[in-house]
Structure 1
Amino acid sequence: MERGKRMKRVVSTGLLLLLLLFFLSSGAGQERVDPNKKSSRGGTQPFGFTTSRSPIDITSDSVEGDQKKNLIVFKGNVVAKQEEATLYAHQLTLYYDPETRRLREIVATGNVRVTQGDRRATSQKATFFQNENKIVLEGEVVIREGENVIRGEKVVYLIDEERSFVEGGKGGRVSTTIVPQPKEEKKK
């Protein structure tokens, strides 16, 4: 009897993982974003995680799916990779829309770290809102690009508008270090 329950659980988990792959790859009609591509304003996409059809490879100590709650939870030593970007966290929760079966929100919690090239961000929580195309980092946020650093308690990045807002932490202040780059010599 116990073996039958275990087999059902394994089959159920396998089906959930297949559904997860479907959700993550169901970006029909979504444009592929080059993580290193300069935007119209000269910036780059935030840490390379995109809404493209590129696969996101996720590893963790365990995974649990709940079809009634429309979510999948990866727990313990979570590592998510897409192209050149990597996210590390204690837990990663994927929420999907029950009608469209599309991913609507991703929440990473517990010592969140995102890296891509010389760009790194750390926080206690990171949330990506698919419908709003917005990323929110919360809790002891530190963002680095090369030697440039910004620290705050909360960062909201509006991807489509290429705008960000930083709220201060202790003492209500934001801390920023900007290292000027040397001028490039003109070619003759």
Structure 2
Amino acid sequence: MKHFKLTTLLCLLLSSPTWALSNDTEQPIYINSDNQELDIQNNIVTFTGNVILRQGSIDIRADKVVVTRPSGQEGKETIDAYGAPATFHQLMDNGKPIDGAAKKMRYETSTEFLKMTDDAILIQEGSEIQGKVISYKIDEQKLVAESGKKKRVTTILQPNQLNQNKK
């Protein structure tokens, strides 16, 4: 789980040239929950009830978090968070926060891929992106936001961010 770079996407997503706290992914991961269930044979740990996952300035809150380690291989974990919504928060190196929420979040540590599904939203300095699905390939810095059948992708950029990028 040392490669857990969940919110690196956030710092690149919304036109602000800031970066996540550089040492977040080097910090230990702490998970607190009301309940924990371990399936040793299948390498699955399920945390339920008021789940709080912290790594450095990363803070994820969910009703349920499932950590799967296929074949027991460290560094190949899949982390699924579920909530109404599941949320996350992280500080950037400049001290400004970035926040996101979705009913489901999935992060694959080995491929550095994050997918937020169902009412996904990312917010930084008042600007936001909303969609049915927001996918981000962190190492390639490629983001895709998809609409649902009855909604379109919505992006709201605050004037102060647009003006900062012109400088």
Same-fold status (TM-score > 0.5): yes
In structure 2, relative to structure 1, the CA distance for the partners of 1:173 and 1:138 (3 Å cut) is same
TM-score, normalised on structure 1? Answer: 0.70
In structure 2, relative to structure 1, the CA distance for the partners of 1:149 and 1:114 (3 Å cut) is same
Tell me whether 1:93 sits opposite 2:66 in the alignment: yes
Shift in Å at residue 78 of structure 1? Answer: 0.2
In structure 2, relative to structure 1, the CA distance for the partners of 1:183 and 1:137 (3 Å cut) is closer
Once residues 108 and 146 of structure 1 are traced to their aligned partners in structure 2, the CA distance between those partners, rounded to angstroms, is 24
Which deviates more from structure 2 when the two are superposed, residues 135-144 or residues 95-104? 95-104
**In the TM superposition, what are the counterparts of 1:107-186 in structure 2 within 5 Å?**
107-110=80-83, 111-117=85-91, 118-169=97-148, 171-181=150-160, 182-183=163-164
Are the aligned partners of 1:94 and 1:107 in contact in 2 as well (CA < 8 Å)? yes
Tell me whether 1:74 sits opposite 2:53 in the alignment: no
Which deviates more from structure 2 when the two are superposed, residues 118-127 or residues 98-107? 98-107
Equivalence for 1:55: 28
In structure 2, relative to structure 1, the CA distance for the partners of 1:170 and 1:43 (3 Å cut) is farther
Are the aligned partners of 1:89 and 1:108 in contact in 2 as well (CA < 8 Å)? yes
Matched length: 150
Q: Greater RCO between the two (CA within 8 Å, min separation 6)?
A: 2
Once residues 150 and 49 of structure 1 are traced to their aligned partners in structure 2, the CA distance between those partners, rounded to angstroms, is 26
Once residues 151 and 100 of structure 1 are traced to their aligned partners in structure 2, the CA distance between those partners, rounded to angstroms, is 34
Structure 2 unaligned residues grouped into runs of 5+? 92-96
Report which of the two structures shows the higher radius of gyration computed on alpha carbons.
Answer: 1
Structure 1 unaligned residues grouped into runs of 5+? 1-23
Once residues 140 and 76 of structure 2 are traced to their aligned partners in structure 1, the CA distance between those partners, rounded to angstroms, is 21
Once residues 122 and 66 of structure 2 are traced to their aligned partners in structure 1, the CA distance between those partners, rounded to angstroms, is 22
Runs of 4+ deviating beyond 3 Å: 47-50
CA RMSD of aligned residues (A): 2.8
In structure 2, relative to structure 1, the CA distance for the partners of 1:48 and 1:177 (3 Å cut) is farther
Once residues 49 and 134 of structure 1 are traced to their aligned partners in structure 2, the CA distance between those partners, rounded to angstroms, is 19
